[in-house]
Amino acid sequence: MGDLRGKTALITGSSRGIGRGIAQRLAADGALVAVHYGSNDAAAKETLENIRAAGGRAFALGVPLGVPGDAEALFAAFDAELAAYGGDSGLDILVNNAAISLPGHIGEVTPEEFDRTIAVNTKAPLFIVQQALHRMRNGGRIINISSAVTTTAFPSTLAYALSKGAMDTLTLTLAKDLGERDITVNTIAPGFVETEMNAALRATPEARAALAGLSAFNRLGHPGDIADVAAFLASDDSRWITGQRIDATGGSML
């Protein structure tokens, strides 16, 4: 287990799903965790309770992304909550995890859905990084959550795939820029993980079995499978890895 004592981590979209798993894991490793979410207060509260019950430290930030001024609003809340919590003003680990996935092939996607997807999944993370860099200490970590859809074609979620492809490019480009500060930037690309995001795709036992069958291990991923990769990338053990896209699909479509 990595030692993140003395570090502060911000995980976007950590009220539920993969983000919650990462928040709980980094808190268990000793980080003070900012649990960001959009609107689900009850889910965020549950994440906080889980962290605190395990002896960890965390506070919540409810700030919608994908709207003008979102990154500034997020960090205004972060600064205020961190000061109230008694933490110092720095940030060590940023995980860009919050995202939406709207269905739509090329013939179905609308300009509005495209703009919304890019606003939440791509534009918000970019400007969150910009704000984060004013606070991030040298040696920090930026972890972007992408998806298998950037290397395996899933035509039914075209806008989502484009938004995640841009995140892979953001990782590569930022890593080159931030090396001089010993900040690493990496992407984790999950396959199908059992969260609310894909509940509709596995509504029947047959559909669920088909998704599980994509993995060499014949099962769906769990948030903890991704959180453990994030914990490695957040730790000092990953200091020589940057600009990389880590496949965390359980060997899907090998």
Catalytically active residues, by annotation: 160
> Does residue 61 touch ligand NAP according to CB under 6 A?
no
Residues 19-38 that bind ligand NAP (CB under 6 A): 19, 37-38
Is 35 exposed, middle or buried, given 0-12, 13-18 or 19+ CB atoms closer than 10 A?
A: buried
Give the pair of three-digit tokens for residue 133: 């860099």
Residue from 2, 56, 125, 190 in contact with ligand NAP (CB under 6 A): 190
DSSP assignment, residue 197? G
Distance in Å, CB of 248 to ligand NAP, minimum: 9
> Does residue 198 touch ligand NAP according to CB under 6 A?
yes
Q: What is the DSSP string of 58-84?
A: EEEEE---SSTTHHHHHHHHHHHHHHH
Distance in Å, CB of 156 to ligand NAP, minimum: 14
> Does residue 40 touch ligand NAP according to CB under 6 A?
yes
Binding segment for ligand NAP (CB under 6 A), chosen from 59-67, 81-89, 151-159, 234-242, is 59-67
Q: Give the residue with the Cβ less far from ligand NAP, 56 or 221.
A: 221
**Which is it for strands 8-11 and 184-190: parallel, antiparallel or unpaired?**
unpaired
Amino acid at 165: G
Distance in Å, CB of 201 to ligand NAP, minimum: 8
Phi, psi for residue 188 in degrees, rounded to 5: -110, 130
Distance in Å, CB of 130 to ligand NAP, minimum: 17
What angle (nearest 5°) sits at the alpha carbon of residue 157, between those of residues 168 and 219? 80
> Does residue 250 touch ligand NAP according to CB under 6 A?
no
Distance in Å, CB of 58 to ligand NAP, minimum: 14
Report CA torsion sign: 231, 233, 234, 236: positive
x-or-dash pattern for ligand NAP, window 62-101, by CB under 6 A? --xxx------------------------------xxxxx
Tell me how far apart the alpha carbons of residues 130 and 220 are, in angstroms, rounded to a whole number.
34
Q: State the DSSP H helix or E strand holding residue 34, giving kind and residue range, or none if neither.
A: strand 32-37
Q: Which residues bind ligand NAP (CB under 6 A)?
A: 13-19, 37-40, 43, 64-66, 97-101, 120, 145, 147, 190, 192-193, 195-198
